[in-house]
Structure 1
Amino acid sequence: MPLDIPVLTAALVAGLLGGLHCAVMCGGIATGFPAMAPGRALSVAWQANLGRIGGYTLAGALAGGLGGGILRLARSDALALGVRVAVGVALVLLALRLLGRGSRFDLLARPGQQLWQWLRPLHRHLLPADRAWRRLALGALWGWMPCGLSLSLLSVAWLQANALGGALVMAVFGLATLPVMLPLTWSGARMGRWLQRPGLRAALAGFVLAAGLLTIAAPWLMQVPALHGVLSALGCQPLQSR
């Protein structure tokens, strides 16, 4: 399906708001990387986080490609429209998660847990992480750990129904977590606390909710001549089967 600007912006907002969540859930992993190369903490932190974002991006590309394959096999306008609506629903559920609700609706929670059980043994084969490529690989493996927030975004990536769109969604999400995850020091903690202020968090989650509702309604709103130009500028195109 066409990649809408509201979807990418929602992924960016989710990454910014989710950075503190990532720090809480994965702080022990993040702070353990500098011990792998004493005296090079900053470069190690970059390698680990670039690997993590690469892992997100690869997962998004694979999920989006799988969704696209299903859509091409079906070649149905009704299914294509259903996928667009499903993207909007996934964004609405993501907004609820950012507000502390809706975690039980993660579409990929069970498959993600099963995949991680298969990938987990790879960790010991990458130790000791005494080379840059090993740290990048460990970071990529870190990105594939089951996490409710990243799995919610992966659902959106899957529903993009193409590899590039899925990869972009996950890459934007991963990059947006860097302000908190890269430092995990004074500046990162300060940014995280600022983003977690209730009013700001509610406003940004409301933006994700609005992006979801717009994504659901866009195919019908495009029929309104006065809105056609604005929605086209946002990337909201009429959906057609391929």
Structure 2
Amino acid sequence: MNELISVFIIALLGSAGHCIGMCGGIVLAYSSKLESNKIIYHLSYNLGRVSMYVALGIVVGFIGSMFSLNIFFKSSLFVLAGICMILAGLSLFGKISFFKKLEYNIQNTRWYKSIFQKYLQIQSVSGIFILGMLNGLLPCGFVYAFLFKAASSGSILSGALIMLSFGLGTIFALFLFGVISRSILDKNEIRKLFLNLASIAIIIFGVLMVYRGIMIFGGGNVSHGNHGMHIMDANATKPMHMH
């Protein structure tokens, strides 16, 4: 539960910095075409995003569960996911361009523009919901950071819950941004502060995951070794019977 709360808080901070910068244009685009700026449309868009995040969490959680069958693979998954989270955090922090080029290239492809243009024209709750789901599929370092976290859980349910917590954490900033279009969250200085705080938290998460992966592997070997020692001790102390 504490882990899910941590994910929610990090997503809440990061959404004010990263999500508004990346998805704010989409929110403004569909908002400008609506006859009335009703709350239901913004709820539908955000529920579409969160639904896609949960679906992705289920997929990566399932993949992670296959790695959990072996201690070596499980520890490797934690280390790999932790390293990717560190890289994602550094990318969001602006220190490296780990995901930025991928995000930029996908957003500027013809299919991206055409499919989004199609659903931006649909002024209905269901159309906005699908737009939100499509938005959830966009390459995003912030999303990927927590997909790595979800994969490392090694569980379909945990993967879904991690991405649900992440998705719920990102709703507030984009919902508020959509309802009032312009807000204090649109100030670059404040957005950068929130994003930097979230980036640091993601890097810390990544470091802890790498450490946990190393400990799982080390613990697995120790446990296995201890098990062997117990067997040896049991055989050594086993009384001999003369026939």
Contact residue 81 and residue 206 of structure 2 kept, 8 A: yes
Percent sequence identity over matched residues? 22
User: C-alpha distance in 2, partners of 1:146/1:14?
Assistant: 16
Partner of 1:237: none
Deviation per residue, 1:5-62 (Å, 9 max, x gap): 4476246414522432222222221112224431243221121112112122212222
Q: Distance in 2 between matches of 1:186 and 1:21?
A: 15
Contact 1:54 1:140 in 2 (8 A): yes
Q: 1:175 aligns with which of 147, 168, 182?
A: 168
Q: Distance in 2 between matches of 1:174 and 1:58?
A: 11
Of 137-146 and 180-189, more deviation after overlay is shown by 180-189
1:46 corresponds to which of 43, 47, 66:
43
1: distance between equivalents of 2:5 and 2:77?
A: 16
CA–CA distance in 2 between the matches of 1:167 and 1:36?
A: 33
- SS of match in other structure, 2:51: helix
Cα deviation per residue 1:129-181 (whole Å; 9 max; x = unaligned)? Answer: 23322211111111112223223332332333322222222222222222321
Segment of structure 1 superposing worse, 23-32 or 181-190: 181-190
Task: Compute the RMSD of aligned alpha carbons.
Answer: 3.6
Contact 1:179 1:188 in 2 (8 A): no
Cα deviation for residue 67 of structure 1 reads 2.9
- Distance in 2 (alpha carbons) for counterparts of 1:154 and 1:15: 16
Match of 2:94 in 1: 100
Map of 1:160 onto structure 2: 153
Distance 2:27 2:157 in 1: 28
In structure 2, the CA distance between the partners of 1:207 and 1:34, relative to structure 1 (3 Å rule), is closer
- Structure 2 unaligned regions, length at least 5: 220-243
- 1:199-223 CA-to-partner distances (Å, cap 9, x unmatched) read x7655543333332223323639x9
Structure 1 unaligned regions, length at least 5 = 225-242
TM-score by length of 1: 0.68
Paired positions, count: 210
Please state if 1:82 is matched with 2:76. yes
- Aligned partners of 2:48 and 2:129 also within 8 Å: yes
Indicate the residue corresponding to 1:212 in structure 2: 206
Say whether the 8 Å CA contact 2:13–2:197 is kept in structure 1. Answer: no
Determine if contact 1:10/1:211 at 8 Å carries over to the other structure.
no
- Bigger share in helix: 2
- Distance (whole Å) between structure 1 residues aligned to residue 200 and residue 164 of structure 2: 22
Q: Which residue of 2 aligns with 1:135?
A: 128
Opposite residue 151 of structure 2, the aligned amino acid is W
State the structure with more CA Rg: 2
- Counterpart contact for 1:10–1:207, Cα < 8 Å: no
For the 8 Å contact 2:150–2:160, the answer to whether it is kept is yes
TM-score, with length taken from structure 2: 0.68
